[in-house]
Homo-oligomer: A and B are copies of this chain.
Amino acid sequence: MPASNLLPDDRYFDPNPAQKEIALQLYERVKNLPLICPHGHVDPLLFADEKYRFPSPTKLLITPDHYIFRMLYSQGISLEEVGIPRLDGAPAVANDEEVWQTFADHFYLFRGTPTGMWLTQELHDVFGVTEKLTSQSAAAIYAQIDQRLQSPDFTPRRLYEQFNIEVLCTTDPATSDLSHHAAIRNSGWSGRIVPTFRPDAVVNLDAAGWRGQIDALSQVSGIDVGDYASFIQALEQRRAAFKEMGATATDHAAVTPFTERLSAQDADIILRRALGGEVADGDVKRFTGHMLMEMARMSSEDGLVMQLHPGSLRNHNPQLLEKFGPDMGADIPVATEFTHNLKPLLNEFGNHPNFRLILFMLDESTLSRELAPLAGHYPALRLGPPWWFFDSWNGMTRFRELVSETAGLYNTVGFNDDTRAFASIPARHDLARRVDANWIANLAVRHIIDMDDAADMIDAAAYGLVKAAYRL
């Protein structure tokens, strides 16, 4: 798709002509490199079902995207008006075209936001939309997207190829039987879709429906989880199954990155208590902290790369949670402490040659203070790209500027799209590649690096680092 007025080739770069020329040159080097997608939330079903078809424009682009309806909600648009289904099954108040029109009427809210930038490029590159989305153009653009969705080649597998994706990692609960992944493998299709092991729902004792998840873990692993030893055994069984299916990484969420080594006996007492329906004060934090240690131990043995995402207080708005469920745009970050919290884990595994930990954050004050110094020291540690609210032009630029002088480029791991919105993946990677091209061009135009260094750095940032870091 050629550039249009909407999306000039040199967009987003610094306006200084000398810097922009270098940025363009660096961007040109990497813009067509294959996409490595090491962390995301695309449903593997899209690729397991060869005939999978996307739903309507609204159900593809609006309803599942909490970045979008969060902003609309903040300006007084109810979730019902955006077509979010209520848990009580009340009928929707708007049809797909109406929701799309509401979105277009409020698209001005996204001026200067990554959502606005991604969507404009996605509409342009994937759906051929060359007009700006406004109240006036909304209906025609809806029709154009809808038509494209109905074209025979508009399937996830064809898009995967067209997007030039090299590998796409999904995120899967520990209790998954990985049947979609097995189906993809068995289909003979050449795309590489691999699972990621995410055990939060069985590890965090206060996870919703934890007891049922443990039963599901027993069933899928074939190991009856009745105490700490069998729990560990079941997790190890699942990790092996994931690895067998191509996984190279695990993923873990926690409100804080607190870690602590419990004795096996203490861990057993807490787990048995929880299995019996009782969770004492402090058990959740201590058990999660201990299980992060155990996950690091397993990673140092099986080589799965460990990812940790701390710092989000989930479901800040109980009125919405009750009416619509989780993931409604009301997860709010909290201040995070890494230096003390991760000390036990890093002291035990941070020097281990086979262990790798990739850290994410939602608290930028930790970047120059804690994360860059830690990553610039421990061989096991790498810093993940700016997560969630920081997956943006300014967020990524600040990350580079705050981290690189202490940890360098080479203790970071390239870009993650971290999205369930499959059709937005190329736009997200393109934005990240532009950020890095611009940042490196700024170093080059100021003679902090020369052009040979600049070329090596953009290659690493766009492709090399992520592939190596995730052992893909």
A410 to chain B, nearest CB (A): 5
B377 touches A73 (CB 8 A): yes
Contact of A233 with B by CB under 8 A: no
Tell me the smallest distance from the CB of A96 to a CB of chain B, in Å. 24
Determine the distance from Cα of A453 to Cα of B120 in the docked complex, in whole angstroms.
Answer: 14
Q: Kindly list chain B residues whose C-beta atoms are within 8 Å of the C-beta of A402.
A: 394
Q: In the assembly, what is the distance between CA of A403 and CA of B259, in Å?
A: 31
Binary B-proximity of A100-122 (CB < 8 A = 1, otherwise 0): 00000000111111101100000
A163 interfacial by beta-carbon distance below 8 Å: no
Please tell me if A212 contacts chain B, counting CB pairs below 8 Å: no
Tell which of B13, B332, B340, B445 touches A377, judged by Cβ atoms closer than 8 Å: B332
- The answer to whether A446 and B19 have CB atoms under 8 Å apart is no
For A13, list chain B residues within 8 Å (CB).
446
Contact present for B333 and A456 (CB under 8 Å): no
- Knowing A74-B377, A405-B113 are in contact, say whether A368-B340 is a contact too (CB < 8 A): no
The one of B318, B339, B379, B393 that contacts A76, using a Cβ cutoff of 8 Å: B379
Q: Are B368 and A389 in contact (CB under 8 A)?
A: yes
Contact of A333 among B373, B375, B401 (CB under 8 A): B373
Chain copies in complex:
3
Asked whether A457 is an interface residue with its Cβ less than 8 Å from the other chain, the reply is yes
Q: Which of A31-39, A276-284, A357-365 sits within the interface? A: A357-365
Question: Which residue of A74, A346, A410 has the most chain B CB atoms within 10 A of its CB atom?
Answer: A74
Residues of chain B within 8 A (CB-CB) of A393 are 405, 448
Contacts of A456 in B (CB 8 A): 108
Apart from A316-B374, A334-B370, what 10 extra A-B contacts exist at CB < 8 Å? A8-B447, A10-B447, A15-B18, A74-B378, A75-B410, A109-B410, A111-B409, A113-B404, A368-B389, A373-B389
* A interface residue numbers (CB < 8 A to B): 7-8, 10-16, 18-19, 70-71, 73-76, 108-114, 116-117, 132, 313, 316-320, 329-335, 337, 339-340, 343, 346-347, 350-351, 353, 362-365, 368-370, 372-379, 381, 389-390, 392-395, 401-402, 404-411, 442-443, 445-450, 453, 456-457
